[in-house]
Structure 1
Amino acid sequence: MRAKFFMLIVLLLFSGLTAGCGGVSAQPATDLTLQLNWTHEAEFAGFYMAQEKGFYEDAGLNVTINPGGLGVDEYQVLLNGKADIAVLTLNEYITGVEADDATTAFGAVFQLPPPVLFSLAESGIKSPADFAGKRLAIKDEGWRQIFHDVLKNAGVPLDAVEEVDVNFDQMQLLFDGEVDVWSGYVHDEITDARLAGYDLNLIFPYEYGVGSYEGILTAKKDFVSQSPDVIERFFRATQQGWLYAVENPDETAEILAKWQPDHDVNFHRTAINALIPLVDTGEHPIGWIDEARWRQALGSVAKEDDPKYTADFLSAINQ
């Protein structure tokens, strides 16, 4: 009986020591909801990899990733407290802070924006200068503005081109020769066209001064001030996730196929490889925001004493 009692004491002491020294935190994970601004696809690969590879878990976070899509107002989701952090386009962020200045940005996934204008290689259309006399497919007012800004910056008058209103799902018009220039995203329409066997000429609006940072990481100011450690842990783990995606595109494609099963692994592999140069330019750490470039992009929205973003977490995770 004494021997059994002695062994019980030893086991209890040993279990207490291992609980204190075994590296497993006694603190419960912090719940965090991330709201994406579109349905699951390659542009969010770094978040998925941070989840799948355990980077969020290692950071003491239990992250729920919610997709966006048509009819989802991500900024309002954030304001209403249904998400802690949102991924926004630059225009969504600017519109949001102009209407309700309750949020701040703390990082940007894309150093270079993924929108692209493109033509069939056989057309010989390689730059906006070649748009003169051509038919431009206009999918909505947002894309119309991008075309107009590119033409203006390239010195091509608007009356030199023909604008053809089209639907988003009518890209076959380009392949059939009924329009000359289409628009889309380098990881989406470009991937579809290339996998269908078409050779393309790509014209990136950012090369003509149109577009800036994208994938803006945004949180309410109250949350940032009250839980800076949570923001820092999330940002650090997210950066790890993107670094892993950049360095392991094949594995990332396999994971993407789980999150978006409507496309096969080959599609996701092509898509993530197209995005990598826009996320990791080699000039700055992933997620970086340069204040001068940011202010230029926001214009008068960025005030002298409030640039509408915080660099605190960028500095902390890139020391």
Structure 2
Amino acid sequence: MKKKLMAMIMVLFMVIGLAGCGQSNTPKSAEQTPKKITFVLDWTPNTNHTGLYVAQELGYFKDAGLDVDIIQPPEGGALPLIASGKADFGVSFQEEIASALTSDSPLDVVAVGTILQHNTSGIISLKKDNIQRPKDMENKVYATWDTPVEKAILKQVITKDGGNYDKVKMIPNTVTDIMSALQSNVDAVWVYYGWEGVATQVKGLDTHFFAFKDIDPVLDYYTPVIATSQTYLKENPETAKKFLAAVAKGYEYAIDNPDEAANILVKNVPEIDPEIAKAGQKYLADQYKAEVKQWGYIDPDRWNNFYAWMYDQKLIPKKLEAGAGFTNAYLPQ
């Protein structure tokens, strides 16, 4: 009887062992397969995008069960790809989202977080040209993209400073090399200081710079932002939260470790000037979150005020409701 009992126990252990082996050889379930995400940049890679490359390099996306592909934008930008479902997330701008929402054929797009807490753009010029404030742009040559929102912002700051916008010499010029432009027949250029402004410092140019937000608070709009579609959020709410949590972790790392983050950016994008990357990263370490506690947070009042200003300036054909075009609901809490 005792021998028979022992034999039965041995058989039971063998069955359990085989069952365990069977489980370990089972193919991964759909839940365990990394979720593919396509992310579209707004321009060539730069320090605005560092948190994304950090999240990819340090495995934050992988740990969240995500497989993220970071791609360059087409000529039309990220929003059309996002709205059509050909991309999941991308970099955009608050003014671009407003235009997309109010066009004759509105796009399904929404901002789910801001990369920088404040608008770092403004006008840069060589010190010798003595453009220290907006009204000093009178009778100076400005390289314009020739877009309505650009001209409205420029007019706003020059007029508010007591200058005459009509006296600015506007020449259409899509500047790709700030240093060369400022040393040619151009006196003033619109730049995003975290990259182009820092670059002039690194290369030894003596410049003046004024930020639009310092002239008028309504121009402290959100640029750049991370966008997706309402459809994607409805169908993939948990994936969206995982993605933004990993991205937030990447930017938090960049805040705490600017030199290391710059090295990661340059490793992934070797054509970037390492010196500019490191200098820009140190500058942006204080800009990603600034005074707020939560990376990515969009202040409703600032967002809504800028959209109201756009409507008042006739930059969009219809008034947007408060809260339109953004949500903080998918950011990590």
Distance 2:13 2:275 in 1: 58
Sort the Cα spacing of 1:12 and 1:49 in 2 relative to 1 into closer, same or farther, 3 A: farther
Aligned residue number for residue 302 of structure 1: 320
Q: Give the CA deviation at 1:168.
A: 1.0
Q: Which amino acid aligns with 2:225?
A: I
Higher mean C-alpha deviation, range 25-34 or range 216-225 = 25-34
Distance 1:311 1:166 in 2: 37
Aligned residue number for residue 58 of structure 2: 53
> Which structure 2 segments of 5+ residues have no match?
1-6, 312-318
**Alignment of 1:175 onto 2:193:** no
Distance 1:227 1:182 in 2: 41
Q: Give the CA deviation at 1:167.
A: 4.6
Task: Specify the SS of the correspondent of 1:223.
Answer: helix
Q: Give the CA deviation at 1:218.
A: 1.8
Distance 2:174 2:68 in 1: 36
Task: Determine which of 196, 209, 213 is the counterpart of 2:203.
Answer: 196
Distance 2:31 2:280 in 1: 40
Identity %: 24
Q: Give the CA deviation at 1:312.
A: 1.7
**What are the superposed Cα offsets for residues 66-107 of structure 1, whole Å, 9 maximum, x if unpaired?**
1215x1431111122111112211122111122325232221
Distance 2:209 2:286 in 1: 14
Distance 1:201 1:279 in 2: 23
**What are the superposed Cα offsets for residues 92-146 of structure 1, whole Å, 9 maximum, x if unpaired?**
2111122325232221112112322112234443222433444433344364443
Q: Which amino acid aligns with 1:309?
A: F
Q: Which amino acid aligns with 1:235?
A: L
Q: Which amino acid aligns with 2:320?
A: A
Task: Determine which of 107, 114, 120 is the counterpart of 2:120.
Answer: 114
Task: Determine which of 184, 187, 190 is the counterpart of 2:191.
Answer: 184
Distance 1:118 1:59 in 2: 41
**Alignment of 1:206 onto 2:213:** yes
How many residues are matched?
307
Task: Determine which of 106, 109, 121 is the counterpart of 1:103.
Answer: 109
**What are the superposed Cα offsets for residues 1-52 of structure 1, whole Å, 9 maximum, x if unpaired?**
x9xx999889768878999xxxxx9722211111111122211111111111
Distance 1:75 1:182 in 2: 26
Q: Which amino acid aligns with 1:225?
A: K
Task: Specify the SS of the correspondent of 1:312.
Answer: coil
Higher mean C-alpha deviation, range 117-126 or range 225-234 = 117-126
**Alignment of 1:271 onto 2:280:** yes
Aligned residue number for residue 22 of structure 1: none
Task: Determine which of 18, 31, 42 is the counterpart of 1:37.
Answer: 42
**What are the superposed Cα offsets for residues 262-295 of structure 1, whole Å, 9 maximum, x if unpaired?**
2231121122223233322123421001111111
**TM-score in terms of structure 1 length:** 0.83
**TM-score in terms of structure 2 length:** 0.80
Aligned residue number for residue 233 of structure 2: 224
Distance 2:326 2:276 in 1: 34
| Larger CA Rg, structure 1 vs 2 | 2
Task: Determine which of 151, 155, 159 is the counterpart of 1:148.
Answer: 155
Aligned residue number for residue 165 of structure 2: 158
Would you say the 8 A contact 2:132–2:209 is kept in 1? Answer: yes
Aligned residue number for residue 271 of structure 2: 262
**Alignment of 1:92 onto 2:120:** no
- C-alpha RMSD of matched pairs (Å): 3.1
Would you say the 8 A contact 1:128–1:150 is kept in 2? Answer: yes
Task: Determine which of 78, 83, 101 is the counterpart of 1:74.
Answer: 78
Distance 1:88 1:55 in 2: 23
Q: Give the CA deviation at 1:244.
A: 0.5
Distance 1:307 1:72 in 2: 22
**What are the superposed Cα offsets for residues 158-182 of structure 1, whole Å, 9 maximum, x if unpaired?**
2444334445146435336x44322
Would you say the 8 A contact 1:114–1:275 is kept in 2? Answer: no
Distance 1:191 1:11 in 2: 63
Q: Which amino acid aligns with 1:175?
A: Q
> Which structure 1 segments of 5+ residues have no match?
20-24
Would you say the 8 A contact 1:93–1:216 is kept in 2? Answer: no
Q: Which amino acid aligns with 2:187?
A: D
Sort the Cα spacing of 1:106 and 1:263 in 2 relative to 1 into closer, same or farther, 3 A: closer
Distance 1:229 1:269 in 2: 34
